[in-house]
Structure 1
Amino acid sequence: MEVDESPSSSTAMAKRGSRNVTAKLMAKLKRALDERNFYESHQIYRTIYVRTCSAEKLDEVLSMLHSGATYLLQNHQLESGADLAMLYLDAIEKHLGEIPADKMDVVAELHHCIAKGTQERQNFLAKALKLSIKGRPGAVSGSPVLHAKIATNLWKEKDYVAARYHFLRSRDSMNFATMLVEVHVLQGYAHEVDLFIAQSVFQYLCLMKDSDLAQSMLTAYCETHPELQRHKGPPYKIPLLNFVWHLLVSISVKRLNYFHILRSKYQPVLDRDPSYLDYLDRIAQIFFDVRPPQNPQRGGLFGNFFNSLMENFCDSDESDMQGPAEAAASNSHPSPQPDVADEELD
C-alpha cells in the first residue's frame, strides 16, 4: 500500500492531531470544573490558550477565556481569574490590535467581576483602556465607549468618585447626570445643588470639548433632580445654574462678547469657587480661540496646582474624545436662546 507523503497530507494529519489533543484537554477541563479543581482548571485553560490561539480560532478562544475568567472570578479565584482576563486582552492585542466595539461589553463585564480595590483590577483596566485606543495615534485617555461602561460599573458599586472620573471621559451625559443627582441627594447639602452640576459641566467642556453633551447633562440634571423639578427653566432661578445655561448658549452661538458679559455679570457667583475662573479661561481657549491669559498663575499655589491638573485633565487629542453618536444624543426639548441684553442675564 502506497503512503501519501505530500505536504497537504502532512498538514491534514497535523490538524487532526491538534484537534485530538484539544479534545482531550477539553475533556480534562470539564472534569476539573466538575470537581471544582480551580488550580487545575486554570492551568488547562492556559494550555488550551497557548495551543489554540490563532486568528482563525480567535472567537472560540476569546469565548473560552471569557467563560473561564468569569467562572474563576465568581468562585473567588482572584489571581487565576484575573490572569485569564488579561489573556483575553492579550489575544485581542495580538490578533486585532485594539478592542473592537463588539467586545467592549465583555471587557466591562470582566472588569466588574474582578474584585474592586485590587491591583488585578487596576492592571486589567489600565491595559484595557490602552488597547481601546491603540489604533489611534495621539489618543491618550481611552475609548469614551469603554469609559462609559466602566463608569456604570463603578456607579453600581457606589464608587462615585471613580465613576465620575470615567463619566467625564465618556459621552454618556444622561447617565452622568443621573448619577450626579443620586450623589447630591444621598451625600450633598441642599445649598450645593448647583455646585454639583456646574463643576461637572465646566470639566466636561474642558475634556470632551462638546457643548451639546454638556447641555444634555445640564438639562437632564435639572429635569430629574427632585429639588429642581419645581423650578422650571431655563432660565433658572438659581444664579449659578442660569450662568451655566447662558454659557452653553454663548458657545452654541459663538459670541465671545456674550461670554465676556456673562463673566462680568456673574462675577459674584463665580467667586464661590476660585477654580471656576480657570475653567472658564480654558473654555474660552477651546471654544472661542482666546489666547491663554498672560498671567495664568491665578491664586498662587492653587494656580500652580490647577495648571498642573489641567495639563493632564484637558490636553487630550480631540480624536480621542469621539464616541458613538447615539451616546451623545441631546435633550429632545431644545432650550430657548435668549438675546444678549444685559438685563436678561439675571
Structure 2
Amino acid sequence: MSDKLNKTIQRFQSKIDSGSFYEAHQTLRTITNRYVKSKQYKEARDLLYQGSSILIKNKEFASASDLINYLIQIYEEEKISVTDKDSKFKLIELISNLPNNDPSLNDLAKTSINWSIKSSECSKFGDNDLHHLFGTKMLRSLQDETDSEKKLNKFAIAELHLVLGTFESIPVYVNFLVDAAKANPSIDSGIFLSRAIINYSYLKNIKFVKEAQFVFLKNIIFESESIKDEIMYSQDQPILNFLQLLTLILQKESATNSQKFLKLYDHYKNLLKKNEISSSIEYLGNLYFNLNISSSGQQNNMLANFMSGLLK
C-alpha cells in the first residue's frame, strides 16, 4: 500500500476513533470516487477493503455493507474475474465478518453472485463458494427469527444458496433437515430428506445426492459409518425407503433404470401425491429418462421454478 493510501487510512481511522462514523464513511467514498474516475482501481479497492474492515470492527455494519457493494461495482468495472482468488477471498472475508442477520446480505448476495456469473469460467448459477457463504450465514440467522413466515422465507433462500454451494455445504444443509426431522418424530423423516435429494437431483449432482443421503441417515437413525452403500429400510418410514431406491436408480440413465423408475414411481405414487412431492418426482423422470408421466399431462420445468427469483 502506498504512503498516500496509508495516510488516508490513518485519517479515516482517526475519524472513526473520534466517533465521526458518518463523516468517515462519506469521506472515504469521496476519495474512492476520485480513484475510480482516474482508473486507479487498485488504490480504490485497497481503500474500500481497509475501510470496510475498520467499520466492521467498530460494528458500523450498514456503512461497511455500502463499501462492500462499492467494491463489487469496482470489480465489475475493472472486469476482475471471480477466478482472481485474492479479490474473491477478500470479498468473502468481509462478508463473513458481517452479522448473520445483517439486512444487507440479500442484496450483497445478488450483487456478488451476479458479478461471479459474468466470469466465463463460472457456472450459470454463480460461484459455489459465494453460495456456500450466503447460505450458511442465512441458515444460521434462523436461530434468531421468531416470525414463522419470515423464517420460512429465509430458509427457502438459504436452502437455494446451499444447494448451489460446495461439498462443504451438504452437512450444513442436511443437518438442519435432520434437526427438523428429530423435532417432528411423528412425521416420516423422508419428507425432510426429500428436499435435499430432489434439489440436488434437479442439478444432476448425484455425488451430492448420495452424500446428502449418507449424512442424513448417519445422523438421524443409524449413526454408523457402514451405511454408505447399503439400503436401510424402515417399516414406518416409506418415503425414506423410496428416496434410497430413487437415489440408486438415478445414478445410471439407462433403459433398464428407466423401467425401474416407472415401477418405483407406480408403487409409491399415491404416497408421493399425499405428501405433495409427486410432481417433483415426475419431473425427475422426465429429466433423467425422458418419461412423460405427469398426471396433469404437462411437464413443468421444475428446475426453472427452483432457480427463479434468486438473482432478481
Shared fold (TM-score greater than 0.5)? yes
Give the structure 2 partner of residue 184 of structure 1: 181
Asked if residue 168 in structure 1 is aligned to residue 163 in structure 2, the reply is yes
Give the structure 1 partner of residue 66 of structure 2: 83
Q: How does 1:145-164 map to 2 (within 5 A)?
A: 145-158=129-142, 161=155, 162-164=157-159
Q: Is the 8 A contact 1:168 1:204 kept in 2?
A: yes
Give the structure 2 partner of residue 250 of structure 1: 249
Decide which of 276, 285, 306 is 1:313's aligned counterpart.
306
Aligned-residue offset at 1:216: 0.9
Decide which of 65, 74, 81 is 2:48's aligned counterpart.
65
CA distance in 1, matches of 2:57, 2:9: 21
SS in structure 2 of the partner of residue 157 of structure 1? helix
Decide which of 192, 196, 202 is 1:200's aligned counterpart.
196
Q: Is the 8 A contact 1:68 1:81 kept in 2?
A: yes
Worse-matched range after superposition: 106-115 or 160-169: 106-115
Worse-matched range after superposition: 236-245 or 129-138: 129-138
Give the structure 2 partner of residue 120 of structure 1: 104
Q: TM-score, normalised by structure 2?
A: 0.76
Aligned-residue offset at 1:243: 1.3
Give the structure 2 partner of residue 41 of structure 1: 24
Gaps of 5+ in 2: 144-153
Q: Is the 8 A contact 2:285 2:291 kept in 1?
A: yes
- Provide closer, same or farther for how the CA distance between residues 169 and 39 of structure 1 changes in structure 2, counting only shifts above 3 A: same
- Provide closer, same or farther for how the CA distance between residues 123 and 155 of structure 1 changes in structure 2, counting only shifts above 3 A: closer
**Structure 2: which amino acid aligns with 1:203?**
N
Bigger relative CO (Cα 8 Å, ≥ 6 apart): 1
Aligned-residue offset at 1:140: 5.0
Q: Deviations over 1:307-327 (max 9, x none)?
A: 4865331589xxxxxxxxxxx
Q: Is the 8 A contact 1:115 1:121 kept in 2?
A: no
**Structure 1: which amino acid aligns with 2:223?**
Q
Q: Is the 8 A contact 2:83 2:121 kept in 1?
A: no
- Provide closer, same or farther for how the CA distance between residues 105 and 197 of structure 1 changes in structure 2, counting only shifts above 3 A: farther
Give the structure 1 partner of residue 148 of structure 2: none
Q: How does 1:1-346 map to 2 (within 5 A)?
A: 22=5, 24-52=7-35, 58=42, 61-100=44-83, 102=85, 103-114=87-98, 120-136=104-120, 141-158=125-142, 161=155, 162-172=157-167, 173-185=170-182, 187-206=183-202, 208-225=203-220, 227-229=221-223, 233-237=230-234, 238-254=237-253, 255-274=257-276, 276-291=277-292, 293=294, 295-296=296-297, 307=300, 310-313=303-306
- Provide closer, same or farther for how the CA distance between residues 294 and 178 of structure 1 changes in structure 2, counting only shifts above 3 A: closer
How high is the sequence identity, in percent, across the aligned residues? 18
Bigger radius of gyration: 1
Aligned-residue offset at 1:283: 0.8
CA distance in 2, matches of 1:292, 1:48: 61
CA distance in 2, matches of 1:270, 1:312: 19
Q: TM-score, normalised by structure 1?
A: 0.69
CA distance in 2, matches of 1:157, 1:52: 36
CA distance in 2, matches of 1:241, 1:176: 17
Q: Is the 8 A contact 1:42 1:80 kept in 2?
A: yes
SS in structure 1 of the partner of residue 142 of structure 2? coil
- Provide closer, same or farther for how the CA distance between residues 115 and 138 of structure 1 changes in structure 2, counting only shifts above 3 A: closer
Aligned-residue offset at 1:219: 0.9
Q: Deviations over 1:37-67 (max 9, x none)?
A: 2123213322442344588762x64344233
**Structure 2: which amino acid aligns with 1:312?**
N
CA distance in 2, matches of 1:52, 1:142: 29
CA distance in 2, matches of 1:28, 1:112: 26
Aligned-residue offset at 1:149: 1.6
Q: Deviations over 1:255-310 (max 9, x none)?
A: 10111111122234323313x22111211222123357484459xxxxxxxx4865
CA distance in 2, matches of 1:30, 1:70: 11
**Structure 1: which amino acid aligns with 2:249?**
S
**Structure 2: which amino acid aligns with 1:42?**
H
CA distance in 1, matches of 2:288, 2:243: 15
- Provide closer, same or farther for how the CA distance between residues 192 and 112 of structure 1 changes in structure 2, counting only shifts above 3 A: farther
Q: Is the 8 A contact 2:174 2:215 kept in 1?
A: yes
